[in-house]
């Protein structure tokens, strides 16, 4: 198969190299592979490329330039909202993502965020910076109730990590499909009934037209006083202005956000100075030491399924957006 890897030069820590490719495809039939970073690099090989590989930022400029032999696009990311709408995919071309790459780090991040919020560390750290002796004893995390929206790779890993810490977890997905790492799973239609019972809300679902703005000001108001919010999904799932209002007013206990509607988060943005809020720069699920190896292993598994005429484990449904 003729493969082209298009890298994003603005993200040098995650460039797919020939060494990554050789390690991942050692047991694969030989492929002719090229690597590039510019549109010109791609145009030189476009007419021969059957499999195009790259992160969304590198693929976006190529959407209107795809060649006649293309059969598959592999997005080196789980969320494909950066490529939406997906009507640019030619007939017969499949889009595959790297779902399954992020679980280990996602579980650790959710556990860290839950412990930070349960211990009221954001307020204690603010007091430390100000030189104030502030005693804020808090009950343990064990025994609390978390609502995890999204039960895919990210949400499932988060739920698993929380249950190890003694947290009762209710998962939320489109149809209420059971998940082995959740104590219960309910459909998204039940969300308004579930929010008042949540000590911790974890957002870990894809961004689609159905989930954009899912947690708006009204739904944030349904959370009980003192609840915590964690977002590792996408920034546009959540009304960040409403969240900041609730935190500044002391109605919610704290938040840990790793994703934002605009990234990088602009200087002077309110999130930087909101009380009891921890902001990390979209790194919760990424391990540069293993990310590309894991991703390409997932790609090769999909290629094996394709050659065998089986369903592709990571095929994206353009109608659903994930």
Active site residues: 234, 263, 282
Distance CA 259, CA 79 (A): 12
Can you tell me the distance from the alpha carbon of 133 to that of 113, in angstroms, rounded to the nearest whole number?
23
Considering only CA atoms, which of 247, 244, 248, 249 is closest in space to residue 270? 244
Helix, strand, coil fractions of the chain, as percent rounded to 5: 35, 15, 50
Closest CA to 229 of 203, 261, 196, 191: 203
Do residues 75 and 96 make contact, with C-beta atoms less than 8 angstroms apart? yes
CA-to-CA distance for 14 and 34, rounded, in angstroms? Answer: 17
241: enclosing H helix or E strand? helix 240-248
Task: Print burial letters for 191-215: b (CB count within 10 Å at least 16), e (below 16).
Answer: beebbeebbbbbbbbbbbeebeebb
- Residue 254's φ and ψ, nearest 5 degrees, are 170, 170
Q: What distances in angstroms separate CA 70 from CA 33, 76, 315, one per listed residue?
A: 14, 17, 16
**Residue count (the chain):** 322
Distance, CA of 65 to CA of 68 (rounded, Å):
10
Q: At 137, is the secondary structure helix, strand, or coil? A: coil
Tell me if 219 sits within 8 A of 191, measured CB to CB. yes
Tell the residue number behind the tokens 């929380």, with chain if given. Answer: 162
């Amino acid at each position: 198969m003729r493969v082209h890897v298009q890298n994003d030069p603005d993200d040098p820590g995650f460039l797919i190299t020939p060494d990554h490719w050789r390690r991942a495809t050692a047991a694969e039939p030989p492929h002719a592979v090229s690597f590039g970073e510019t549109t010109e690099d791609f145009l030189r090989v476009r007419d021969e490329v059957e499999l195009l590989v790259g992160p969304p930022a590198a693929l976006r400029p190529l959407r209107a330039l795809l060649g006649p032999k293309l059969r598959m696009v592999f997005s080196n990311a789980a969320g494909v909202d950066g490529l939406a709408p997906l009507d640019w995919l030619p007939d017969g071309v499949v889009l595959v993502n790297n779902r399954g790459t992020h679980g280990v780090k996602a579980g650790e991040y959710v556990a860290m965020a839950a412990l930070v919020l349960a211990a009221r560390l954001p307020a204690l750290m603010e007091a430390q910076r100000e030189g104030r002796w502030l005693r804020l004893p808090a009950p343990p995390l064990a025994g609390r109730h978390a609502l995890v929206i999204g039960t895919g790779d990210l949400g499932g890993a988060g739920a698993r990590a929380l249950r190890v810490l003694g947290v009762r977890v209710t998962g939320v997905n489109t149809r209420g499909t059971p998940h082995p790492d959740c104590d219960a799973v309910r459909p998204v239609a039940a969300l308004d009934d579930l929010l008042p019972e949540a000590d911790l809300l974890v957002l870990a679902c894809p961004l689609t037209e159905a989930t954009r703005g899912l947690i708006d000001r009204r739904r944030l108001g349904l959370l009980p006083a003192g609840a915590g919010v964690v977002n590792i999904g996408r920034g546009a799932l959540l009304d960040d202005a409403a969240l900041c209002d609730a935190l500044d007013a002391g109605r919610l206990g704290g938040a840990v956000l790793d994703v934002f509607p605009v990234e990088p988060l602009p200087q002077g943005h309110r999130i930087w100075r909101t009380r009891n809020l921890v902001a990390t720069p979209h790194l919760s699920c990424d391990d540069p030491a293993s990310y590309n190896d894991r991703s390409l292993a997932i790609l090769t598994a999909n290629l094996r399924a394709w050659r065998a005429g089986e369903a592709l484990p990571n095929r994206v449904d353009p109608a659903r957006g994930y």
